[in-house]
């Protein structure tokens, strides 16, 4: 099944905590890295970025997690957490990614989608949770406001064997009202990491408006319809978590209903107030 994604631009953010960075293009202390970099977080989890194609899209895209590992389990994704704005896929402008902060490191991807819309991705592997935090900044340089459709897509490593294990509505049948959803490739003994997608929060002004691909076909994708005033920046915030079991993933999922200080550390208050899909 084929999808669409985005072009983006850098938003720099310092963060605090404890994180390691590994990869052939990311030696210790590196300030700028490229394709092949891995962010390593709690769990331990490994989030390996890629600039490539997958079976869920038709063009080259930026993915902050090409495979994804939780402890000894791997193949969480085949290119996950990709983004598209109004039909344009995100590929970093120069395939070069600044690193901000020490503990943890935030990786920045940068580009633009044309017509005065600039987009930035800031990816942080959190030190106290096996979670990747993705903050997407959408800057409208036009004098007039713009309505945008933002699509959030993942090619899943489970390759069509995945199913929903839990969701925020409690019926284990993912729908537009679900703020978060847990999926895995087996109901009792998953072989791939169990995935939790936290898409929006309680009382958020922007919620999922379309399910592009639901679980069961190897792809998961949703879209948001948002408005960005002229000369302004608005943000979308996503949390993606890996766990080793369905039970552990489900027990942790409620933490995304009201994100605490550990999940939001390093995001300035001025940015939090402009996040559309969470009421922070």
CATH number at residue 260: 2.70.98
User: What's the pLDDT at 111?
Assistant: 80
* Structure tokens, 9: 């631009």
Q: Look at residue 154 and tell me if it is in a domain.
A: yes
**Residue stretches of the chain with pLDDT short of 70:** 1-30, 58, 102
Q: Look at residue 14 and tell me if it is in a domain.
A: no
* 80 alpha-carbon distance from chain centroid: 8
Q: Look at residue 149 and tell me if it is in a domain.
A: yes
Q: Look at residue 3 and tell me if it is in a domain.
A: no
- For residue range 160-196, what is the model confidence (pLDDT) as tens digits? 899 999 999 999 999 999 999 999 999 999 999 999 9
User: What's the pLDDT at 34?
Assistant: 80
User: What's the pLDDT at 102?
Assistant: 67
What's phi and psi for 253, nearest 5 deg? -65, -30
Q: Look at residue 43 and tell me if it is in a domain.
A: yes
Q: Which residues pair with 62 in a beta bridge?
A: 51
Q: What is the mean pLDDT of the chain?
A: 87
CA atoms of 244 and 201, how far apart (whole Å): 24
User: What's the pLDDT at 30?
Assistant: 52
CA atoms of 191 and 178, how far apart (whole Å): 25
CA atoms of 27 and 22, how far apart (whole Å): 7
Nearest alpha carbon to residue 211 among 252, 186, 237, 181: 181
Residue ranges making up the domain that contains 149: 20-272
Q: Look at residue 113 and tell me if it is in a domain.
A: yes
* Structure tokens, 235: 């943000």
Total domains in the chain come to 1
User: What's the pLDDT at 108?
Assistant: 93
Q: Look at residue 221 and tell me if it is in a domain.
A: yes
- For residue range 57-70, what is the model confidence (pLDDT) as tens digits? 767 889 999 999 99
**Max CA pair span of the chain:** 54
Q: Look at residue 13 and tell me if it is in a domain.
A: no
């Amino acid at each position: 099944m084929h999808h669409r994604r985005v072009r983006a631009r850098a938003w720099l953010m310092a963060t605090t905590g404890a994180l390691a960075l590994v990869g052939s293009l990311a030696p210790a202390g590196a300030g700028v890295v490229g394709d092949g970099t891995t962010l390593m977080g709690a769990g331990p989890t490994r989030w390996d970025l890629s600039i490539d194609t997958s079976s869920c899209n038709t063009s080259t895209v930026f993915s902050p997690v090409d495979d994804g590992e939780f402890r000894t389990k791997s193949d969480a994704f085949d290119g996950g957490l990709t983004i598209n704005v109004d039909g344009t896929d995100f590929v970093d402008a120069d395939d070069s990614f600044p690193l901000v902060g020490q503990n943890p490191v935030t990786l920045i991807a940068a580009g633009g989608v044309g017509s005065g819309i600039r987009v930035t991705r800031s990816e942080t592997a959190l030190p106290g949770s096996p979670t990747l935090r993705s903050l997407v900044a959408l800057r409208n340089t036009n004098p007039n406001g713009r309505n945008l459709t933002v699509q959030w897509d993942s090619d899943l490593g489970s390759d069509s064997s995945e199913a929903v294990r839990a969701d925020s509505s409690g019926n284990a049948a993912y729908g537009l009202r679900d703020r978060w959803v847990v999926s895995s490739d087996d109901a009792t003994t998953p072989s791939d990491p169990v995935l939790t997608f936290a898409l929006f929060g309680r009382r958020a002004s922007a919620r999922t408006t379309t399910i592009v691909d639901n679980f069961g076909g190897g792809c998961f994708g949703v879209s948001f319809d948002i408005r960005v005033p002229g000369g302004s920046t608005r943000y979308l915030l996503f949390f993606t978590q890996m766990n080793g079991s369905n039970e552990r993933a489900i027990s942790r999922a409620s933490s995304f209903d009201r994100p605490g200080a550990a999940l939001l550390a390093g995001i300035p208050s001025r940015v939090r107030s402009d996040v559309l899909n969470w009421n922070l």
